[in-house]
Structure 1
Amino acid sequence: MARKLRGLLRKLVWLACFGIVGYLDAAPASADQPVQFESATLKPTPFQERNAQQNGQVIKAVSGTPLNGYLTRPLGEGPFPAIVLLHGCAGVLSNDKQTWPERLSSWGYVVLVVDSFSTRGIHETCDRSLLADRVYDAYGALEFLSKYSFVDPQRIALMGFSAGGIATLEAVQLGGAEQLMERKFKAAIAYYPRCSLANGDMAVPTLILAGELDDFSPAQECRAMMKQRSGKGSSVQLNVYPGARHAFDAPEFKNGIEAYGHRVEYNAAAADQSTSDVRAFLKEVFGG
């Protein structure tokens, strides 16, 4: 009798441990779970390779840069669609790390916030030229996310804010870096980017959101970009919000500030409408 009881106890303990392990494996990541990955390897283009061969040279791929990030996922096993999120020139703010990840995960999306600055020793880039490497940060994040069993690798979008919005447009611009990458984003969302740096021809469906009064990333530049588009590639939608300034969706700027000679200010009406527009866009692109 004692032997049977000991055997039953061992079985119950084993089942309990198995259940705990299974639960931990399926448990959702917290909204600020830190992760580490690398930016995409920079491979030479066919033209660069041919040119090097003609000159008797060998051109090698440039290894990726180690990066930090923050992962958020919905409850459940998935697989879920996912969003790679790129912060602005001031680094990862609460709008990037909390507001949008919590919102997107409540809609059923996995979110990976890419921190392009900390491992590079950068605090901000608002008063300098753009960091071109951020395009490859985005594709490194895409590769990293695609390996998770709870992510649907065929439904991953890129989303960026301000300087991150510029990098977003550059990452999916037709004939640009996207043609060098094996994995592709399926959609792109750019909040208040400098549209003058893009030609408007995108490889994937793209949504651009701009404030009418933005003097940091003027809406007029985005309108001009839309007019000059060749019509090649995927659809591009531009939404301009009346009375809205730069960072109109970021609650941390409710009082408004002057930054580098520009006004940065939250606008509740524009924030709410743009949130609805983003959700509708993602639903149209990914379904569900």
Structure 2
Amino acid sequence: MAGIVRLLLVLELLLFSATAFALDEKIVVQTRTLSEHDFLTGKEQAGQPVEITGTLAGPDTDERLPVVILLHGTDGPRSGAAWNWRLFLESIGVASFRLDSYTGRGIESADSQQELFGQFTQIYDTYRAMEALAEHPKIDANRIAVMGFSRGGHAALYSAMTRFQNAYGPKQGKLIAHLAFYPACNFELVGQFELSGAPIREFHGAEDDWTPAAPCRAYIDRLAAGGYDAQMSEFPGVLHSFDNTSIPARNWSASWQTSRKCLRREENGRLVNPETGKPFSYADACVEYGPSVQYNDGATAKAQAAVEAFLLGDAFKLK
């Protein structure tokens, strides 16, 4: 019954979006494709320039709008999670910017070839998207948040690092909140406990077998202990992609790659597998196959309630 109610809500949001929201436009973002080594060592100019696009959507209003940048996972720009959150954000009066980091780079999906797309590319894309949004007459450049899913989730999370913001941060726009959904947290990065101070909200299924919750719990707990406004919502019995309504039943593929048992430690500007002492590769023995995904109505409803309260309250101050 709950699933039917959720489906009706999605249909209602679609109709509402089509009739009540005027903003629906493509925006070009000038960015670069940096290797992981170049990104970690600050070699910005070594990156290949590329144009990507995003879709800006939001309410019909004369006021400048706060906006949430939505970052897809390795499933690509057709991600059901990003689309669903666009509809939800519109329903609470918040603009969204669904950023497509793949099409301009000639990528469709990286679920089965994770090495096609750098771990930190979407962090750089986010900062450049902020500059593009800051130029838009409908957007409040001082109220920008980032929300990401899976690979996009750890971009949303680690984009809070002071080190990355100092190296690549936007010349315009202010990033005031980070919302990370089921990211990979099995990294040891230089400076990962030194953040900008913007609040972080992390959401994870406790039974996630693609990007396990435990490393994220440890990271968020340590940030909170260090005085940062960092909180994690963990949902018992819930899998990866729990907010994607297009996956009603548990699904998996034998070709999907997961680094759930790999630790990636930054050493001299490279991600190293401590077990081998060599740069991490998706050919490493720790890489496994066949993780699961499934939508969960209850977890999605709780996440939506938490996001709404956070964005309308502390983050965007719309209440």
For residues 55-77 of structure 1, what are the alpha-carbon distances to aligned partners after superposition, in whole Å with 9 as ceiling and x for unaligned?
A: xxxx9575742002212111212
Query: What residue ranges of structure 2 are gaps of 5+ in the alignment?
Result: 1-20, 257-289
Does residue 89 (structure 1) correspond to residue 83 (structure 2)? The answer is: no
Paired-residue identity, %: 29
TM-score scaled by length of structure 1? 0.78
Does residue 266 (structure 1) correspond to residue 266 (structure 2)? The answer is: no
Higher strand share: 2
What pairs up with 1:144-155 in 2 under 5 angstroms? 144-155=132-143
Deviation of residue 253 (structure 1)? Answer: 0.6
Assess, with a 3 A threshold, how the Cα gap between structure 1 residues 233 and 133 changes in structure 2: closer, same or farther: farther
Output the aligned Cα RMSD: 2.7
Name the stretch that deviates more: 102-111 or 230-239. Answer: 230-239
Partner letter of residue 137 of structure 1?
D
For residues 125-148 of structure 1, what are the alpha-carbon distances to aligned partners after superposition, in whole Å with 9 as ceiling and x for unaligned?
A: 223235232211111111111111
| 3-state SS in 2 of match to 1:153 | strand
When Rg is computed on C-alpha atoms for both structures, the one with the higher figure is: 1
CA contact (8 A) 1:104 1:111 kept: yes
Of 201, 207, 214, which aligns to 2:201?
207
Match of 1:285 in 2: 315
Whole-Å separation in 2 of the counterparts to 1:178 and 1:48: 10
Whole-Å separation in 2 of the counterparts to 1:29 and 1:150: 9
Assess, with a 3 A threshold, how the Cα gap between structure 1 residues 205 and 178 changes in structure 2: closer, same or farther: farther
Match of 1:24 in 2: none
Name the stretch that deviates more: 198-207 or 232-241. Answer: 198-207
Partner letter of residue 132 of structure 2?
F
Match of 2:236 in 1: 242
Assess, with a 3 A threshold, how the Cα gap between structure 1 residues 244 and 278 changes in structure 2: closer, same or farther: same
Assess, with a 3 A threshold, how the Cα gap between structure 1 residues 270 and 48 changes in structure 2: closer, same or farther: closer
Partner letter of residue 241 of structure 1?
F
Match of 2:163 in 1: 175
Does residue 37 (structure 1) correspond to residue 29 (structure 2)? The answer is: yes
Partner letter of residue 287 of structure 1?
K
Deviation of residue 180 (structure 1)? Answer: 3.6
Does residue 191 (structure 1) correspond to residue 176 (structure 2)? The answer is: no
CA contact (8 A) 2:185 2:216 kept: yes
Of 105, 111, 115, which aligns to 1:120?
105
Higher helix share: 1
Match of 1:13 in 2: none
Assess, with a 3 A threshold, how the Cα gap between structure 1 residues 220 and 78 changes in structure 2: closer, same or farther: same
TM-score scaled by length of structure 2? 0.71
Match of 2:7 in 1: none
Match of 1:163 in 2: 151
Match of 2:215 in 1: 221
Assess, with a 3 A threshold, how the Cα gap between structure 1 residues 232 and 282 changes in structure 2: closer, same or farther: same
| 3-state SS in 1 of match to 2:132 | helix
CA contact (8 A) 2:224 2:231 kept: no
Deviation of residue 201 (structure 1)? Answer: 4.5
Assess, with a 3 A threshold, how the Cα gap between structure 1 residues 187 and 108 changes in structure 2: closer, same or farther: same
The one of the two structures with greater contact order (alpha-carbon pairs below 8 A, sep at least 6) is 2
Assess, with a 3 A threshold, how the Cα gap between structure 1 residues 279 and 264 changes in structure 2: closer, same or farther: same
Whole-Å separation in 1 of the counterparts to 2:225 and 2:164: 16
Deviation of residue 116 (structure 1)? Answer: 0.6
Assess, with a 3 A threshold, how the Cα gap between structure 1 residues 64 and 171 changes in structure 2: closer, same or farther: farther
CA contact (8 A) 1:171 1:178 kept: no
Assess, with a 3 A threshold, how the Cα gap between structure 1 residues 169 and 185 changes in structure 2: closer, same or farther: same
CA contact (8 A) 2:150 2:182 kept: yes
Partner letter of residue 136 of structure 2?
Y
Deviation of residue 225 (structure 1)? Answer: 1.4
CA contact (8 A) 1:200 1:236 kept: no
Partner letter of residue 140 of structure 2?
D
Assess, with a 3 A threshold, how the Cα gap between structure 1 residues 206 and 229 changes in structure 2: closer, same or farther: closer
| 3-state SS in 2 of match to 1:149 | coil
Query: What is the number of equivalent residue pairs in this alignment?
Result: 249
